[in-house]
Structure 1
């Protein structure tokens, strides 16, 4: 009978530990994924900003020397990430590929113009910078027109500001939720042993002596939960890097490593503090208060 009861207690204890580890792992995993989003939010926003293209259309009378000089000047400009010369023949081929029809069969000639596509660095993708670039180049006689999507730039910058604000707000809220959830799990685990705590106290054990094994066990569970969460984060990060290699999510190992270390230490710290507070609470309760 005693052996059966011991096995029951052991299974109950393992189940309790397992639930605590799962709770810690899930919360830290979600918090870590949110941390990855926060750390890479600017990189993702910069990636989309750098897809904005400024197209400079050239007159047919433009000399090749002038075109080459302009392209070199644009390539070396501080705002330029890359440039690409697109001849009217290349533009016709691109349009033909997009529409599936050869428009030159209808018009009899190629009405398109030679152009230079300029891709800007993310920090310079603002309406003010683009207007300045347009004014700077507008005085060149061999330039026919300069175009870019003004509405897209304004919409993108506004959305980036909004998304950044909400991501930071959600990060703060989720961090608080993570602390509360882990604290709740630890308190429930300690609550199930409140009578053991009080019994040890009644036979003369000091608070430090009673608290030590509870803190040690909780920190162990926190370490296990944090490791599980980090493994999950590593898998997510690996597949995201495979799917979006242009974002270079793992090209900064120091930043990623700092996040992983931070999540690990957070798991240990929360479990340690939660266990300390929970055991202290039950140590200060009177015996008749343990039943409520």
Structure 2
């Protein structure tokens, strides 16, 4: 009986000591947080400067990723619109059209083949150039028309035209169906393809410029936070000496400076994410007017905004923690 009582008493003492340790850790943690927040609000000018620069840094990162996503989506949309016209003889029969279409569709690089009749080609020509009645009459009297029936070939990748060129140049049946007007010969290039290449170059340039700008501003942010923490250490030097004399834990002394640095990253992340979201939403109608594909990014932002915010906070916190660690390691001698 006495053994059981002693066992229960021992278990109770262990539990009590465990609770005390947890309570002590909680009190230490809350004090570190309070000291860090107090230090954050102590020097308004340094705090404002560090937060503003960090906000600009994270906004550049957000904008770079958004720009790359939008341009990449635009390129994908334009790829689906690119078609290579293969002009056919004006007197081609439906049977010949079906045979040539079948051969083209069998190619692994071809997504689809659409037939444009002579009448549809004529209407497209009129809609594009809007000629007068006299000009139309003159065109009708020409020995060769500037338009012809055609097969519009859409490729998986507009840059991969080798198999299509080989088929058009070497297949006898396809060659016999081609229009003999040199001006209507297959060129395997087009305005949409050039637009895709241009936007692809823009996407690559935007990614590189954004990456470099992000690195520069991350370095500036780290430098400003580094100096802010250095000033905080200098301003609290008497308090730090007192903590060292009474035997305060090293982590307790260092902790408030890390908390202060994380505060910069947290506030900057919230501000930059909010500015980035509202900026994108306000610019979206104008971008859509220029044919820029913004809907995929819009849907992702509306659905995944918590993940975006957490990612921005994590990035801001990492920048702050690294800066604080460097400053504490150099100037806080414990």
* TM-score (normalizing by structure 2): 0.66
Gaps of 5+ in 2: 1-38
**Of 245, 256, 267, which residue of structure 2 is paired with 1:213?**
256
Q: Which residue does 2:326 correspond to in 1? A: 277
Shift of 1:282: 1.8
Equivalence map 1:205-284=2 (5 Å): 205-239=248-282, 241-242=284-285, 243=288, 244=291, 246=293, 248-250=295-297, 253=300, 261-284=310-333
Which one is further off, 93-102 or 77-86?
Answer: 77-86
- Post-superposition Cα deviations, 1:158-193, rounded to whole Å, max 9, x if no partner, equal 767866765554454334213212112212322332
Whether 1:104 and 2:136 are equivalent positions in the alignment is yes
Residues 27 and 251 (structure 1 numbering): CA distance in 2 closer, same or farther, change over 3 Å? closer
User: Are the counterparts in 2 of residues 82 and 119 from structure 1 also a CA contact under 8 Å?
Assistant: yes
User: Are the counterparts in 2 of residues 125 and 153 from structure 1 also a CA contact under 8 Å?
Assistant: no
Superposed CA RMSD: 3.8
Q: Which residue does 2:173 correspond to in 1? A: 139
Equivalence map 1:119-130=2 (5 Å): 119-121=154-156, 123-130=157-164
Q: Which residue does 2:33 correspond to in 1? A: none
Residues 50 and 92 (structure 1 numbering): CA distance in 2 closer, same or farther, change over 3 Å? same
**Of 212, 226, 244, which residue of structure 2 is paired with 1:187?**
226
Shift of 1:281: 1.9
Whether 1:113 and 2:113 are equivalent positions in the alignment is no
Q: Which residue does 2:84 correspond to in 1? A: 54
Equivalence map 1:23-38=2 (5 Å): 23-38=53-68
Residues 10 and 104 (structure 1 numbering): CA distance in 2 closer, same or farther, change over 3 Å? closer
Residues 13 and 138 (structure 1 numbering): CA distance in 2 closer, same or farther, change over 3 Å? farther
Shift of 1:225: 0.6
**Which entry has the higher C-alpha Rg, 1 or 2?**
2
User: Are the counterparts in 1 of residues 87 and 179 from structure 2 also a CA contact under 8 Å?
Assistant: yes
Q: Which residue does 1:67 correspond to in 2? A: 97
Using the alignment, how far apart are the partners of 1:162 and 1:119 within structure 2? 22
Using the alignment, how far apart are the partners of 2:279 and 2:140 within structure 1? 54
Shift of 1:229: 1.2
Using the alignment, how far apart are the partners of 1:226 and 1:176 within structure 2? 16
Equivalence map 1:134-213=2 (5 Å): 134-135=168-169, 139-140=173-174, 141-144=176-179, 146-150=185-189, 166-167=205-206, 169-203=208-242, 204=244, 205-213=248-256
Which one is further off, 256-265 or 230-239?
Answer: 256-265
Shift of 1:115: 1.1
* TM-score (normalizing by structure 1): 0.74
